[in-house]
Amino acid sequence: MITKHGAKTTLLVFAALAAGYVWFHAGTLDLTRLWTDEIRTANAAAAGCPYKAAKYASTADPDGIAYSTVAAIAVKLAGPTETSLRFPALIFGALCIPLLFLTLSRATPAGVSIVAPLALFFSPPLLFISMTARGYSMFVFFALAALLATLRAAESGVSKSRGGLLFVSFAVASLIDLNIWVALPAGAAIVFMKRRNAGDVLRYAAAAFAGLAPALALRLAMPGFAPPAPESPADIDAWRLLVMTYTGAYGGFTPANAALAAASFTLALHGLYHSLRFHRSSLAHIFIWFAFIAFAAVVLSGASTVSLKKIIPLTALLAPFACLIISVSPCAFAASLLRRDMAGVYSITTFLRMAATGFIILFSLVFYVAYTVKCVSQTHFRERENWREPISEIASGAAPGDYLIIKASDSVALDYFMKPADAAKLNIIEVGTPEEASAALRKLPRSWMLSRDRSIRGIKTGRETDWRIRSPFGKRFGGALGDILFFNFDGYFIDSASEFIIASSAPAGTAPDSPLHIRCSPEPGRSCSFKVFLPESDDYSLLLSSPGSDSSFNVSVTFCRESRLLTAGPGEAAVLSGKFRAGSCDVDFSFADPAPSSLSVGLSKKQPL
């Protein structure tokens, strides 16, 4: 443990590091644009009034109510910019560094309590949440404050000041993520283990629950507390969720996070071994606390309906614990090395074992530092969700009257990045499921579509059929939280089977789900045409018929540059089939004498999407 005087001096050093953290990263807050959840924060904080921000967020964005209230103050002072919206998050992230030292100085060896906050200073996960206007760093700060209050209560009992800290910490943290409630029984267990006093345990639980209960009541009273999931359910099992949680805690949320998490694996295992073997009594309380948080991240998030953004707050809270475990490894090795007398204690086997262990730790540290630098760089410059580029491309390339299909949950990005004049020339259709998108595309002559890819760093988190329209037509605009898929369909989308009616007027009683009407009179010597979009190279069939016709007729058909003269008659259909390449193609009909009064065209795909 560190002496009282040494702790004050070290705390001042870490406070200076926190100030340097803010100074170094503040100039990079505007290097990336806002992503969908941050845009919700921007909408809530736009008025620059904490009360109005809280009122707006209570219905439109319940998860962001705490941070939006703080961000509104920054917006009032500096205007609605990326920097002002993210600056409070940077402040809370920087304060986590000295707060982690205060916490660990009560429960860990001196070397670990110094090295772990230093590791947190360079931690990509902390930097990511500190550059995100979403309250994640605020959640980590107040959760660590609750842990500190728990340790103080375990040492000296629950006083008014410690009870007040528990109240405020749990209240604010639970407004950001209600899963923090699992820390309450963990804290009660810590107090009981340390003091063996049921009265202190009850006082602790009462103080913590007093902070949790109002937040719970407020969240339950909000109209938007339990809205439909903005993402389609993602079929992900608990094992992959555990891998995602580990990767996020040790690597962060950038494309290089998996490499950094892998580089940390040896250090984490070695540190975990030494923590459990040699520091069992001192680290037990912190292990209990973070074990409950890990349990919440893996189990309470829901293994069948989880998305990456749902586990970011709890995963971010595991980042300080990851720094603690990593720091135990070199500190334990150094302590073991310095305790030995080179003249008489070392045997050849001990020397070889120490040399091998030191080499592995050094090798892991080299990779850890290298990928930390890479992840920090990507955190500064890598877009979280790159909406700006595809929306700019749509604005410049779309013609008046074109259709834009976008998921309803992503419409906030469209409202933020697209100018009102550009949006006015488009027919915007908001959908909730892939099936709704396909149904709309089948009836639209020219359309654009934007959707988020839910594959996260190589781990498929969604059903393979969801939004399944692949290259060479879809462009990918990469981001740390997933790619944005961008499509332009010049023609009616043929994903399974579609039916068109070519006639001078729509059939009587046409329903929304009826065959699509192509307004064109099939007269002798006249041509009627339209475009279709084939999403995949496959076998397609074109079926022609004329319901109600009493004589045979000839039609010259051109389908995707393949021409054919077809004959159809009463009760007889003409068929053109074959394998056609994916892409946009023209369908043209030239009529001879006699011509039918109307023509029914069925177009089907052999293997539906």
139 and 176 share a domain?
A: yes
Question: Bridge-partner residues for 500, per DSSP?
Answer: 516, 601
Domain end point (choices 381, 413, 446): 381
Q: Is the pLDDT of residue 575 over 80?
A: yes
For the stretch 548-566, pLDDT in tens is 777 788 888 888 888 888 8
Q: Is the pLDDT of residue 584 over 60?
A: yes
256 and 137 share a domain?
A: yes
Q: How many folded domains does the chain comprise?
A: 3
User: Distance (Å, rounded) from C-alpha 492 to C-alpha 469?
Assistant: 14
Q: In the numeric block, which tokens belong to residue 598?
A: 């109307």
| Residue 412: closest CA among 44, 132, 49 | 44
346 and 429 share a domain?
A: no
User: Distance (Å, rounded) from C-alpha 472 to C-alpha 536?
Assistant: 9
Share of the chain above pLDDT 90, in %: 23
User: Given the structure tokens 């991240």, which residue do they identify?
Assistant: 297
472 and 504 share a domain?
A: no
* Candidate from 118-127, 162-171, 300-309, 397-406 with smallest mean pLDDT: 300-309
Q: Is the pTM of this model over 0.75?
A: yes
For the stretch 417-446, pLDDT in tens is 999 999 999 999 998 877 788 888 888 888
Structural domain boundaries, residue 453: 388-490
Domain end point (choices 451, 475, 490): 490
486 and 502 share a domain?
A: no
User: Distance (Å, rounded) from C-alpha 329 to C-alpha 334?
Assistant: 9
372 and 409 share a domain?
A: no
Do 127 and 252 touch, CB atoms closer than 8 A? yes
Question: Bridge-partner residues for 487, per DSSP?
Answer: 449
Q: Is the pLDDT of residue 122 over 90?
A: yes
343 and 450 share a domain?
A: no
User: Distance (Å, rounded) from C-alpha 523 to C-alpha 341?
Assistant: 104
User: Distance (Å, rounded) from C-alpha 391 to C-alpha 302?
Assistant: 33
Please give the helix or strand (H or E) that residue 564 lies within, else none.
Answer: strand 562-568
DSSP secondary structure letters along 289-321? HHHHHHHIIIIIT-TTS--HHHHHHHHHHHHHH
Q: Is the pLDDT of residue 229 over 70?
A: no
377 and 522 share a domain?
A: no
Give the three-state DSSP class for 363.
helix
31 and 93 share a domain?
A: yes
221 and 317 share a domain?
A: yes
418 and 370 share a domain?
A: no
Domain end point (choices 381, 413, 445): 381
DSSP secondary structure letters along 385-409? S--HHHHHHHHHHPPTT-EEEEEGG
User: Edge to edge, what strands does the sheet with 446-452 contain?
Assistant: 427-431, 403-407, 446-452, 484-490, 475-477
How do strand 492-493 and strand 527-534 relate by DSSP bridges? parallel
441 and 584 share a domain?
A: no
CATH code of 532's domain = 2.60.120.260
